[in-house]
Amino acid sequence: MSATAHLTCLCGAVSTSANTLLGSATFPISSELCHCNSCRQSSGTVVCSFLELAGPPDSETLAKTKAYASSDAMTRHFCATCGTHCFVHVHARRKWYAASGTIEPATQPEAVRDVVKITAHKYVGDSADLAVMLKRIGGREVPCYLETVDGESMSEKELSQLASKDKNSVPQAQELPARCHCGTIDLKIARPELKDAERYAWLFANNTKYMGKFCVCRACRLGCGFPMQSWTYVPPQRILRSDGEAVDFGVRDTNVQGFSIYNSSERVRWYFCGTCGATVLYRRDDRPDFINVGVGVLRAETGALAKEWVEWSGELFPLVMNRGSGLDGELIEAVAAHG
């Protein structure tokens, strides 16, 4: 359907008409889900999607973003104030793309159920676990590609072999690296301890795993710039700096160099990398017992979902949080079906 739409970041500093940028406002717009390491580690969420623009954003809009060259071929632009990923410039193609979660259609006279229609999974070679989980979206088979969508799609056997390393078993490692794409934010997540089980209800697998959820509320969507944010919930004392010291979650600062902090309200803070824009942590003062950690920065050996550390299920809370406020119904329902 056709609709008026705008593009915005979480704080509103980056805000412009999406109709002109997209060249079309007929939703849904076809797009692929990208599973590459670069997208995941620079955004903080496990999967990303982009919409091709008719041309570059205007200079006034870009001036409010910070540029990060994630490779020689690509520059990403995120809001310098709140960290929302907004645009990507692919140099060789001379193409600009918008992070799909930043596009908000007007809801009158009729609500838009889907901003994007997912037509493929690409760069599954970097992580296959979520692609296997989402082989069907909106009742249709979604082809998977090892890298770009230019070649042949993967067979069922090839996809199964690639995903075979995705195990639910618990390895012996007691610390998991949590590192953004550029490496400026370099943390470690420690395993739960027995005393944690006495206090926290969201520990799983004999108290060795943390809870994982997808959130599609407006704040989380705009916080990363993509349709859903993926979180795991960790007690603050289990979040360590690379030198083993506990992260100090001060009211206005932290003892981790490189963080930019955005207060979306007096008691809510988003911690993102000031260099690459990865949303790493989210903290609310009314929930002092745990910190949201962006699963996209976890460097697990078994895949993007870090299943040897994170339990993804509908136990305790729905697998997809705040489903009623999400903008991509097909994708949301496909994920929720696994809860």
**Domains recognised in the chain with CATH numbers:** 5-163 (2.170.150.70), 175-336 (2.170.150.70)
| Alpha-carbon torsion (228, 215, 42, 35), positive or negative | negative
Write out pLDDT tens, residues 199-227. Answer: 877 788 888 899 999 999 999 999 999 99
- pLDDT tens for 184-193 read 999 999 998 8
Q: Is the pLDDT of residue 41 over 90?
A: yes
Average pLDDT over residues 260-276: 95
Give the predicted TM-score (pTM) of the model. 0.94
Segment 48-58 shows an average pLDDT of 95
| Angle at 34 (CA atoms; ends 9, 282), nearest 5 degrees | 45
**97: buried, middle or exposed (CB in 10 Å: 19+, 13-18, 0-12)?**
buried
Token duo for residue 67:
């540029």
From the CB of residue 27, how many other CB atoms can be counted at a distance below 10 Å?
A: 19
111: how many CB neighbours lie within 10 A of its CB?
12
Average pLDDT in the chain: 91
pLDDT given at position 302: 86
What's the rounded Cα separation, in Å, for the pair 235 and 149? 40
Residue 35 has pLDDT above 80, yes or no: yes
The mean per-residue pLDDT over the stretch 314-327 comes to 90
pLDDT for residue 43 is more than 90: yes
CA angle 232, 137, 102 (to 5 degrees): 60
Token pair 């717009």: residue: 29
Q: Which of 89-103, 145-159, 250-264 has the highest mean pLDDT?
A: 89-103
The CA-based angle 116-120-126, given to 5 degrees, is: 115
pLDDT of 315 over the 90 cut: no
The answer to whether the beta carbons of residues 176 and 275 sit under 8 Å apart is: no
Tell me which residue of 142, 163, 121 sits closest to 34, measured CA to CA: 121
Least confident of 17-21, 60-64, 240-244, 306-310: 17-21
One-letter identity of residue 161? Q
